[in-house]
């Protein structure tokens, strides 16, 4: 809902959050890195007077220098400082689910999670989670304090979690939150070239949207589009229905800042694809089939630690 994908509209974003509550969707996921805190401010405005009706999740650990360079900070003292700042921006006393946004390779995960556990003991946080952590890191973290959720990218064109992460989450009874379940909008079937992206849109820097890759990936989406037509739904709805068919413990969090798209996403709950359709999607969108990595090279190095 802040300046990452397209042009922000705070009023429409707040209306979308209110519409979510009307439709029974009560999990809000944000982060201090989104819009350099602006996203948390928007969320805080939207839930004012409605706090107890929502499950509120946010993240810390990604920092930005004055020149725009991104870094990771998992130091214990920073965890406490970041939490206080998020609480202030959100206008709440407690965060329901507090994630480490990225694992800091220079700080033992035991130290970071230990600091997060102190936030739980202080009543500032109810539960803690990790984002884009590898299986060994998850095990080590879970040994220090129960990890409630692991948030990682998972969709038709990003099926990496199926090999190791999902089995370990099941073993440890850790919930799995799938971010970018629509491939940053690509699986909605509305992006055919980079010309469809606004100037400054973050996706211009993502390899899967680059010229050459985007054409190959559109060939995959054409299969999804035909399958959706057969099922009487939109490609986005079918992509979400496929994901929810994988396991009842997977919670997808498709991001949107407009009521129109939000309502379309929620309607995916009523889509029940045939076994043949699900198998067709499994066969076409197999592991590593997408052209290009899901993040630029520098960011890929920080994933799955």
Helix (H) or strand (E) holding 64: strand 62-64
Q: Is the pTM of this model over 0.85?
A: yes
Q: What does the pLDDT look like over 211-259, one tens digit per residue?
A: 889 999 999 999 999 999 999 999 999 999 999 999 878 999 998 889 9
pLDDT for the residue 291: 87
Gap between the Cα atoms of 43 and 88, Å rounded: 12
Return d(Cα 160, Cα 175) in angstroms, integer: 16
Domain locations along the chain:
1-153
Rounded-to-integer distance, Cα 157 and Cα 187, Å:
8
Give residue 90's pLDDT. Answer: 98
pLDDT in the model for residue 302: 67
Residues of the chain with pLDDT under 50: none
- Cα–Cα distance measured from residue 98 to residue 75, given in angstroms and rounded to the nearest whole number: 15
Q: Which CATH superfamily is domain 1-153 in?
A: NADP-dependent oxidoreductase domain (3.20.20.100)
Helix or strand (DSSP H, E) at 133: none
User: 119 near 80, Cβ under 8 Å?
Assistant: yes
Predicted pLDDT at 297: 75
Exactly one of 34, 98, 127, 179 is catalytic; which is it? 34
Catalytic annotation present for 78: no
């Amino acid at each position: 809902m802040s300046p990452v994908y397209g042009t922000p509209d705070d009023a429409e974003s707040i209306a979308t959050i209110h519409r979510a509550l009307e439709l029974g969707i009560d999990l809000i996921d944000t982060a201090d890195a989104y819009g350099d805190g602006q996203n948390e401010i928007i969320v805080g405005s939207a839930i004012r007077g409605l706090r107890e009706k929502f499950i509120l999740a946010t993240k810390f650990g990604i920092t930005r220098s004055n020149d725009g360079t991104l870094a990771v900070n998992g130091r214990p003292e920073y965890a406490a400082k970041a939490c206080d700042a998020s609480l202030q921006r959100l206008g709440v006393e407690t965060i329901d689910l507090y994630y480490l946004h990225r694992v800091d390779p220079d700080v033992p995960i035991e130290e970071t999670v230990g600091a997060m556990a102190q936030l739980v003991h202080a009543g500032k946080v109810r539960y803690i989670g990790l984002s884009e952590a590898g299986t060994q890191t998850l095990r080590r973290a879970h040994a220090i304090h129960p990890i409630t959720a692991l948030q990682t990218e998972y969709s038709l064109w990003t099926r990496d979690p199926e090999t190791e992460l999902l089995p370990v989450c099941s073993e440890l009874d850790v919930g799995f939150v799938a971010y970018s379940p629509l491939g940053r909008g690509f699986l909605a079937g509305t992006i055919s070239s980079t010309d469809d992206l606004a100037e400054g849109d973050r996706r211009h820097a993502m390899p899967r949207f680059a010229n050459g890759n985007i054409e190959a990936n559109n060939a995959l989406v054409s299969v999804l589009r035909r399958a959706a037509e057969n099922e009487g739904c939109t490609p986005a709805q079918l992509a979400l229905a496929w994901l929810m068919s994988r396991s009842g413990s997977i919670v997808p969090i498709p991001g949107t800042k407009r009521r129109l798209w939000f309502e379309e996403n929620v309607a995916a709950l009523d889509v029940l694809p045939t076994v043949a359709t699900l198998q067709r999607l499994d066969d076409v969108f197999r592991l590593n089939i997408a052209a290009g990595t899901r993040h630029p090279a520098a960011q890929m190095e920080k994933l799955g630690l």
